Structure 1
């Protein structure tokens, strides 16, 4: 009998500073490419549009291959996509209230693309920019690819120049390493990068993920308001709530009790404060039907669990459509001084400062 195959993804993120304005979306599909990293029957497809993961293919317990990430078929479709299928988001991932923050006594205003607020860097954030391919090794012992992006002073209303690098590396048994680096070149600036991949371990388009078992090693969560903002800065225990995944449980076992956005949506869009410090296991997910599993390790303090609540007959791969709960994101982000201490602050790095965060899936 074939043994159960497990997917382990390694993700290292370090924040730097600098980026170049990309052409508008109408021109983007002519300037981007699709690249593949392959090791045996494990393969990862990438594009430099948003330094994005397009697919992750691996076998189930019977050796059947499937793509386990949601997305689109062509680069042109990603260029016009607003669902954040697989990109690096930034310069500031997550939400910024009213698109406004104060740095060194000066008020900055970002482009608002989420109602009154800004999400994932604005309408032309890192996810909707063309990255430069710096290195590409498709096969061999360590297939890998490095993307580079320079974010200029004033881009999306943000101060300072930033150089950002992302390296994807396939190694070991079904292991994908993602290393993200960002450095402020000339002045203090907010930076917070995040890989936004929707996972379905049964295979994208195979149905919902409500039967996936999930464990999150977090005893606390950030209290969010009706706009999904941590405006109060409060952190509360998960014990006794449907947010408690300290012991493995099916995603769908309590999801109907999770009401967000003032009752306008049902599902997880939760920011967890991860237990412990340094590199440690953060979350594990498993699909009992296929036997595929995913494990996340991180040295970052928070994890965002999102069950795709905004997906509604959203166009996917192969003519399929995605609805709520057909995929889930488990994304770690932000250093503790910016997120755990006070959740409504943005993450700032100083001139020539390098910030390190490490995540392993």
Structure 2
């Protein structure tokens, strides 16, 4: 979602080594989950609790990997686009890398111009997570990752115990559950986790997603300052604007009408209708027939159309270019810590943050529309 901080490879490798040292004997691995039929599977790694691949059949039963990424874990270590990563402690942007909480001003590492993006220089996407449970097959295969975030990490107050679970809960259902418990008795902290998968339902190396059809269940969005990409604080209606995706709409009919940070395309947070666990969006690629419904329990969802992808070398020799994927990141509102009118992302000591996502892929036999 938006411009990634471009960091020197050497620096990223140093971060990886530092993370390994902090983790003791933890090693980085790749783990696969597969449904009973064998035609739906994912691969994940405990580097950044990252979703590496999602293989799902099209309407003719032909399988393809539909998320962008790299062939090896080293690619994710050195990459700068957050492909498939779990981002935090606070996803999206925090203006000027600062916020005030309980009368104390906190200063964060700024890695996106003057702003903090996706948790800072060494966010949750750039650390090694512990594998707590791994059930690779059966009726409901799953894997659970754990990470302890210490008080003061990247400037954030308070310690957290964080868990992320990937689960194949049905024939073609992918669930992602995230939760974080604020430890100690003294310090509250902001928490806003997000999965940053880049989707191309025609296949990860098949070109742009302008032919994808998208529906978002939102009548409002949070406009941003186009230069800083920080919300203005307004929650505006989408009616009469190119951001209105309440009906199934080809992305190619809108990307030239919207822009973010100087690049054509969507990079916007929508205020999702309703409360609780509910439908958020629907995506369909008409040629392959692949589609998914996205359900979640968060107040917002960021739609990003890969505006800043620039000849990124990915899996199997693919080259990812502008608009080569779309992201749907369910989340709290961006920069919520600095906008009291936005839904709060603050977790008090002893409190638990919870985030539940469900991608319901249509089967080869089923072509339902949300």
TM-score, length-scaled by structure 2: 0.87
Pair 1:71-2:69 in alignment: yes
Q: 2:28 aligns with which of 26, 32, 46?
A: 32
Q: Which residue of 2 aligns with 1:304?
A: 302
Q: Which runs of 5+ in 2 are unaligned?
A: 1-12, 21-25, 360-370
Shift of 1:260: 2.2
Structure 1 residues without counterparts, runs of 5 or longer: 1-21
Conserved 8 A contact 2:297-2:356: yes
Q: 1:49 — aligned with what? A: 47
Q: Report the CA distance between 1:160 and its aligned residue.
A: 0.8
Displaced runs of 4 or more, over 3 A = 26-30, 335-346
Contact 1:95 1:120 in 2 (8 A): yes
Query: Aligned pair 1:256/2:247, yes or no?
Result: no
Shift of 1:135: 0.6
C-alpha separation in 2, matches of 1:346 and 1:299? 14
Deviation of the 1:332 alpha carbon: 0.8
**How many angstroms apart in 1 are the aligned matches of 2:296 and 2:327?**
15
In structure 2, do the counterparts of structure 1 residues 229 and 341 end up closer, same or farther at CA, with 3 Å as the change threshold? closer
Q: Return 123-132 or 170-179, whichever deviates more.
A: 170-179
Aligned counterpart for 1:329 among listed residues 327, 330, 334: 327
Shift of 1:213: 0.5
Q: Distance in 1 between matches of 2:174 and 2:308?
A: 27
Aligned partner of 2:368 in structure 1 is none
| Distance in 2 between residues matched to 1:203 and 1:341, nearest whole Å | 38
8 Å CA contact retained: 1:160, 1:184: yes
Distance 1:312 1:218 in 2: 30
Task: Give the match for residue 135 of structure 2.
Answer: 137
Cα distance change, pair 340–227 in 1 and its aligned pair in 2 (3 A): closer
Q: Secondary structure at the match of 1:24?
A: helix
Could you tell me the TM-score, scaled by structure 1's length? 0.89
Change (3 A) 1:83 1:214: same
Match of 2:3 in 1: none
Offset of residue 330 of structure 1: 0.5
Deviation at 1:172, TM superposition (A): 1.2
Paired with 2:316 and 2:341, the residues of 1 have a C-alpha distance of 39
Q: Provide, for residues 31-63 of structure 1, a one-character-per-residue CA deviation record: whole Å limited to 9, x for no partner.
A: 200000011211100000000100000111111
Distance in 2, Cα, partners of 1:256 & 1:127: 31
Distance 2:348 2:240 in 1: 40
Which residue of structure 2 lines up, in the alignment, with residue 229 of structure 1? 230
Alignment counterpart, residue 125 of structure 1, candidates 109, 123, 126: 123
Q: 1:336 to 1:352 in 2, by over 3 A?
A: farther
Q: Distance in 2 between matches of 1:63 and 1:32?
A: 33
Deviation at 1:190, TM superposition (A): 1.2
Aligned residues: 337
CA distance in 2, matches of 1:211, 1:66: 17
C-alpha displacement of 1:25: 2.0
> Structure 1 residues 239 and 335, CA, compared in 2 at 3 Å: closer, same or farther?
closer
Q: Identify the residue that residue 181 of structure 2 maps to in structure 1.
A: 183
1:197 aligns with 2:193: no
Q: C-alpha distance in 2, partners of 1:36/1:136?
A: 9
Q: Distance in 1 between matches of 2:152 and 2:353?
A: 21
C-alpha displacement of 1:209: 0.5
What SS does the aligned partner of 2:90 have?
coil
Question: Which of 86, 99, 102 is the equivalent residue of 1:101?
Answer: 99
Contact between 1:300 and 1:336, CA under 8 Å: does it hold in 2? no
Give the C-alpha shift of residue 357 in structure 1. Answer: 3.2
C-alpha spacing 1:270/1:343, structure 2 compared with 1 (3 Å): farther
Asked if the contact 1:335/1:357 (under 8 Å) is kept, the reply is no
**Kept after mapping to 2: 8 A contact 1:190/1:349:** yes
Aligned to 2:247: 247
Post-superposition offset of 1:82 = 1.0
1:216 — aligned with what? 216
In 1, Cα distance between equivalents of 2:79 and 2:334 = 31
Superposition deviation, residue 26 in structure 1: 4.4
Q: Give the 3-state SS of the residue equivalent to 2:100 in structure 1.
A: strand
Is the deviation greater in 291-300 or in 122-131? 291-300
Per the alignment, in what secondary structure is the counterpart of residue 74 of structure 2? Answer: helix
